[in-house]
Amino acid sequence: MILNALNGNIIICASNGKIRLQATDIELIAVGEGGSKGNIRLDATENISTSSKSFKINSVNSLSFNSPSNMEIAANGVLTLYGSVIRGVTDACAVKDSKNRNQQKQKKFNK
């Protein structure tokens, strides 16, 4: 089956049910130009979860994980963290700024 909309949107809605895509492989590809097109947005009011063997993210320019509450990173095997420069910021610099001027970052992330 091929579903094609030359202009406009395609909306699949299940107001009181689930939408399930099942196949050998599923590819989500967004193609667009400029900063406002070519994006994939994934939102959930509760949870986004996976139980896959592997979860890989590769980013060309930047990658950001943000949480207004708690964040946990755990590895029962080996956890490798690498950065050409690693800068750690804690709430301690809110009282007395560090030599790297991290007080600005502390204020940014605690709005």
Instruction: Check whether 24 has a pLDDT greater than 90.
Output: yes
Instruction: Check whether 11 has a pLDDT greater than 90.
Output: yes
- pLDDT tens digits for 59-72? 999 999 888 888 99
At residue 2, the pLDDT reads 92
- pLDDT tens digits for 45-55? 999 999 999 99
**Cβ 96 vs Cβ 89: under 8 Å:** no
Residue 62, token pair as written in the block = 């930047």
pTM over 0.85: no
At residue 97, the pLDDT reads 78
At residue 16, the pLDDT reads 96
Q: Nearest 5°: phi and psi at 92?
A: -60, -30
Average pLDDT of the chain, as a whole number: 88
Q: How many CB atoms lie within 10 A of CB 93?
A: 19
Q: Nearest 5°: phi and psi at 44?
A: -145, 140
